[in-house]
Amino acid sequence: MLTRITSTPAALLAKVIGSVRSVEMPTLTRDADIDVYLVHNSLDPEDYFFQFDFEQFMERSKRGLFVRPRLRIWAGRSDFDRRRFARQFREVFAREFEAMRRQNGQGKSWGWIDFGSTLLFPVALVSTIVVNLVLLAALGLDTDKRKRRRARQIEAEVEETKERVEDALSRITITLHRELYSYAYRSGTPGKLTGMDYEAWPLPAYVRAHMQDGESSSWW
C-alpha cells in the first residue's frame, strides 16, 4: 500500500536526494568498488548475465565510513551492443540493489545511505531514484548539479537520471578478465584481447560456482 504524499514534488525530491549522503561526500573519501562480472553463456555476444559483488561496498558502509561507490565491470568479451547492455544493467542493478536493501533491514541507516527518511514515499519510486543516484555517483557523474537545479516533477527527474545513467553505461570501460575470456570463447575461436587486465585477481569462488547458472544475481 502506498503512503499518501502531501508534500510538493520539489520537497519530496529534496528529501530523497538528502537520504543519499553520497551527494554530500566530504573531500576525504574512500573508494569502494562495486565489482560486476559479466558472464557469457555462449558464443553469442548478446547472451550474458551479471554477477554483482556488493560485499566490500556494503561492509564499509556498515562501519560508518564515508565511501564513494566506484563501478568496475569485468567481462570475457566487449563486442556486445552497449545500449542494450546499459538498459539491462540498470534494470538488474536496481533489482539487486533493492534486494541488498531488504537484506539489511528496511528503514535502517547503514553507512552513507539512510533509508529511514524514504518511508514517506512509494517504495518502488524511492528505490528507483536512490538506485539512479547511486549509479550516477558510481559512474563519476556530477550529482551536485542535481541538487542546485530547481526540482521539477519527480517522474521527470527519474526519467532524466535514467537517461543519464544509461548514456554513461553505454560508454563505460569494460575490462577483460582472463578467466571470463576463456569461458566466453570456450567452444569457439578466441576473440580480441584488447582491454585485457593480465594482472587481475582470480575470479571470486561464487562467480565460478554460478558461471553455468545463466541468471543474474548478487553476493554480499
Q: According to the model, what pLDDT value does residue 22 have? A: 43
From 197, 166, 165, 168, select the one nearest 180 (Cα to Cα): 197
- pLDDT at position 172 is 93
Instruction: Say how many C-beta atoms besides its own lie within 10 A of residue 76's C-beta.
Output: 23
The model's pTM: 0.76
User: Over its length of 220 residues, how does the chain's per-residue pLDDT go in tens digits?
Assistant: 444 445 565 666 566 555 554 444 434 466 778 899 999 999 999 999 999 887 767 776 666 556 678 899 999 999 999 999 999 999 999 888 878 777 766 555 555 555 554 444 555 666 777 788 888 888 888 666 554 444 456 677 778 888 999 999 999 999 999 999 999 999 889 998 999 999 999 999 989 998 888 889 886 5
Report which secondary-structure segment, H or E, holds 21.
none
DSSP three-state, residue 73: strand
